[in-house]
Structure 1
Amino acid sequence: MAGPSAADVRSVFSLPSTPGPSQPKAPPATERARKPEGMSRELYSLIGQSAPTLVAQLAKPRLKQKPNLGGGGRAKWEWRSFQNQVRSDGLRLSHWVKAGTPHDAEYPFAQYNVQNTTYTYTQDEYTKFLVDKDWTREETDYLFDLVRQYDQRFYIVADRYEYPEGPQRSMEDLKDRYFSVCRKLVRNRPWSGDEGAKAQILSSYAFDKEREVMRKKYLESLESRTPNEIAEEEALFTELKRLEQNERRFKKERDELLRTLLGIESGLPDVQAEEEGITGTSQAESISAVSTKKTKKKVAAEPETPTSASASASYTTVSLAPPIPKKQSAKSAAYDALHCIHRTEVPQLTTATATKAAHQPVYLRSYKLPAPKSANAHKIAQVLGELSVSSSRLVMPTKDNCQKLEALLEAATALVETKKQVDKIDQEIRLAQERLGQGSADGDADADAEEDTMDVDEPIEEDGRAQSVASAKSGRSSRARRQSS
């Protein structure tokens, strides 16, 4: 085992490590690069010392520095007596203050001692404006002293109110007397400010005694309710809501029935009368069908009233279409004609509530062109192609052009349908002619055979009818030949 080296001995005796003459001096070790802040240890081990310069931007954000309250060193405090300037009794108390604070400095919390405005009155003012048969001057002075002492806290004032040989006063009586005196003083004293400020002060002293008493009685009655009374009130409230819903539903059904039966004579909105030259019978049938449908759907069966008969006898048809648009003025019509504006009425729903599906958003007129049926689309396009007209696109989709294209599509559709019916009828006629020609040839052959057979056999009388056995046989044989052929 090797013995201790010289370096070990020097370290034990805390001697400086001086290398010998034979030992070469070790080169100074390079200072190891420090890992930048904001970079993980694994990432730094991968990239080594060649860290990019953007690492400085990844540094962790520092928290907000704590405020320096007073700088360095410790603050010295002194126990010092003070007097609150707001107090009128001259009481002196003591508290801790910083050394160096002036002795005559104002108490800092005196600014928070805000007093309410207190009113005083003279004997002359009381005699002119404040006299009340239920209140004496001495009791009024006693009330104002308590309100001033307890800073207008009327719950405390009512609890401490004990005027000798005076009647029992409630808190509402005390508030009514105090606020009424203040209002009279503000109203009758000279006012140097604006009227708005005076009105605001008067409104701050407004008090309704009867309403306050009623409110407290109502609250007491609510608090003293039993569970049965609470359940009964809830049931009554639910019944009231149900009755309101039924009333709205009945009103809606009544209006719809009146619109259907009376029409323009019912006086209800959203009813339009159109004059048409139809017979009374068809008019009666249309109205009776609509009324029967409405009656079966929503109301019980009722006997027919003379109103429906009078409506059926008239020549005015009832339509639930949107109301007649209002007539435009001459100036508005000229403006619309100059700017090519066409005004249309938005259709109104007859139901009480408008759903999202019934809403019609804004659209282009060219998007509402009717599209032909898929079965006839090719033929209609072929017909329009012969006229050099495109059924899918208009260069100028104005109102007149769209109407003309729609009429052209309807005419082309009718033409294609008519052509289809004509071809079908021609085919049926051709098949019928072929069937009739074959049947006539077979009929001639059968007739010859029947004549030959009937000359041989004798007729047999049966139930008053003459029938030949040979003719029956010949008939069966002819049917058999016809089927075999």
Structure 2
Amino acid sequence: MAGPSAADVRSVFSLPSTPGPSQPKAPAAPERARKPEGMSRELYSLIGQSAPTLVAQLAKPRLKQKPNLGGGGRVKWEWRSFQNQARSDGLRLSHWVKAGTPSDGEYPFAKYNVQNPTYTYTQDEYTKFLTDKEWTKEETDYLFDLVRQYDQRFYVVADRYEYPGGPPRSMEDLKDRYFSVCRKLVRDRPWPGDEATKSQILSSFSFDKEREVMRKKYLESLESRTQEEIAEEEALFTELKRLEQNERRFKKERDELLRTVLGIESGLPDVQADEEVVSGAPQLESISTTTTKKTKKKGVTEPDTPMSAGPSASNATVSLAPPVPKKQSAKSAAYDALHCIHRTEVPQLTTATATKAAHQPVYLRSYKLPAPKSANAHKIAQVLGELGVSSTRLVMPTKDNCQKLEALLEAATALVETKKQVDKIDQEIRLAQERLGQGSAEGDADGEAEDDTMDVDEPAEEGGRSQSVVSARSVRSSRGRKQS
């Protein structure tokens, strides 16, 4: 039978057990960090040990500490009676005040009792300045007493106004009488202050009775409207707004048209805006309206737009030649001459049947100006620029101006073509002179032309240029010497 082990002996004597050599020491379990407050378990498992850096941001906010407003103890209040210095009847009331407040102090709300200035007059002043045939002195005194009693609240004054034996008075009558008396007193009494204060007080007592009566009648008419009248008024208001918008749009379009006609938007440096002419748009509009009415009345048709004939008319250049006059009466011709109307004959189609493809829509005459060739466009623009003429846009593209611009473009094109031909001929003459100069240099190098020099005719001067022409005789003699 085996004896007791060391572990049994230690347990009998209550000794601490120590691991023996045969019993290895178990590794200590790692301490697990505690999840900080204010963070969810899933988030903490994701971020791991980096949680302390986010604790300050994710921690629950704490409530602010309540401020200490008191001295630490309770405030004692007392029920105390007081007297308002703004009252003249000596009435005493009571209220709660803090203990320790002096009882003989001034009531703090008495300063807000601001009274309006009251005016009084004497018998002499009434006789000189305030006499009115519709008001007696007794009734005026009664009115001033009520106004002073009810602190100028005229709605209350008009409700309490009952002068015995007097005519019925409206609130406007009472206000007009009271303010007129106050103005006369301020104006006629000697004023100790400055004039600015006096004028300000006079303006505060101004009252227009007729305007006030009209205002109240207008309000009564508004309140007494029916639903049909309200709907009609709203429709009229909407129509008025629409007309105002159309007027603004027409005015804008008219100004743009005038700026285009006057050449303000052309970009030319010599054209300046004239606001007086632009502001005279209504006159221009009335003139154009009158002209339109006269045209419709007399039955005169608008001038036809020139169209080119043939299917290929869109690619052809429209000629700006003088229009073919139509057969018309002398009266119509005089009307056209007076209003600068030019009528052109619509060219007939060469084909027997007219098709939609042969039709050409309305276009501007300035859009059909002949464009120069792309090779000469830069040179033509340079020539026109030296003359100070802009070929890109006409300020006033009328028929005469388009014809003049077309003639100018044709003249500039002819000038550029002539310049090219002249440069070409000059280059050929220069090359010929160089070749002749090289041939004469070779003949002198051989030394065979010492006795018999070449006969050279004198150059003829044509257009400022000198040309050297070698005679055929000298050429033949030089060839004979070379062959010998």
Task: State the TM bucket, normalised to the shorter chain.
Answer: 0.3 to 0.5
TM-score with structure 1 length normalisation? Answer: 0.46
